[in-house]
Each structure stands twice: as C-alpha cells, then as structure tokens.
Amino acid sequence: MNIAIVGYGKMGKLIDKLATKAGHKIVSTIDSKNMDKLSSLSSSQVDLAIEFTHPEAALQNYRTLLEKGIPVVTGTTGWHDKIEEVRTLVSDNNGAFFYASNFSIGVNIAFKLNKILAKLMEDKLDYSLIIKEVHHTTKKDSPSGTAVSLAEQVINNNKHKLRWMNAETSETDIIPIISERVTDAKGYHEIEYDSTIDTIKIIHNAKSREGFALGALSAAKWLIGKEGMFTMEDMLNED
C-alpha cells in the first residue's frame, strides 16, 4: 500500500516504522508543521491515509481526504458528536472510512466481554460499577475514547445505566469514569463491579503501543476496495 500518515506523533511514527518494515510505502507524513501538504495529496499517489490527530482538526482532515477520494483510517477520538456529518461526507463522496477508539485486538475482545457482562449484571443491583483508565500525560482527551466506548456499551446493554460522567458519583444511574495521567503509560482500562460479597473486573493493560499500530495497519489493508463506514467490529466479525 501507498500510505499517507496524517498526524506524526508517537502513533504516527510507530505506524511509519511498522508499515515500512512490512513493505508498504509511506508517501507522505503530515503534522501541524506541514499541514498544507494535506491538500496536495492525490488518490493517484495514495491508496489510503491513516489519521491520528486531534478532535479539533479531525473533521476537516476527513473532509479533505474523502473529497479527494482517499480512504481514511482514523484513531482520533473526541469527534463523535459530528458522526452524522462524517457519515454524510462518506456517502456524498462514495468514500471508505474506518474509525476506532482503539485498534488493539485485545481491547476489542474486552469490548465484547464488556457487553456480555453488562447484560448479565443488569439486574444485579447490589453491585456498583466504575470504569478506570490510565494514559500518558501527553494524551489530549479525558476520558479516553476507549473508556467512553466501554461506558456506552454498558448503557446500551443495561437499562439502569443512563449516562456517564468523568468523575466519581453516588448516583446509581450514572457510570463514573476515573481518568489518571502518568508518565509513559501505554493504556490501561478497567471495568469493575463491586459488592460487599465480591468484585468482578475486566482489565486490559497495554504493554506497548505496537498493538494499536498493527491494528491500524490491519484495518488499512482490510479497508482497501470497500465503500462505506466501518469499525473494528465489522472487520473482526467478517467471515
């Protein structure tokens, strides 16, 4: 694949390294210092763009790329309030768009377990629920997109949980998400159901960022030749 990397921070650099090692060609690397290069990209030279930037920049990046006919894989979070606008962009341009709050295969297995457990715990009202996440100090969004996905999965599978908040709370219909930022954490997520009798937990602890980068590259290969909006669930559930 001929790949453009939009967002050249830690993830962008790691994707560059792993993609090159796998035999792919990095046509362009773009960040805030040379964002003008984005408008010069062409679908004749780029098979796909992998985008890891910031929520404030993401929507315009998607617009530029999709209008040029360039498929997009994005790991940027915090823009999902604009998802209908992105859906329209994809449809109007007959585009291909793959988004994930987390590209790790392990995290996406945890997502499946979280949905099952949420349903099982729906009427176990003696248990309190809390979601915890720990990331590196340079992470811009809080809570993490993965933590938000976990909370929304619970809300969709438990009639007693109506919303989440990024703080502790005693209100039982609200899911508290506790965020912590420490030096060089790779990504830790924990879903905890606690009672006076016992505690049930699902934990995913990333040991390196490689899993996220490899997942993004797998998504890129999977997206080539497709049209529409897709998630990790689409890729993992495909026969």
Q: Which residues are catalytic?
A: 135, 139
CA 6 – CA 13 distance, rounded (Å): 10
The alpha carbon of residue 179 and the mean position of all alpha carbons in its chain are separated, in whole angstroms, by: 16
- Counting every residue written for the chain, the total comes to 239
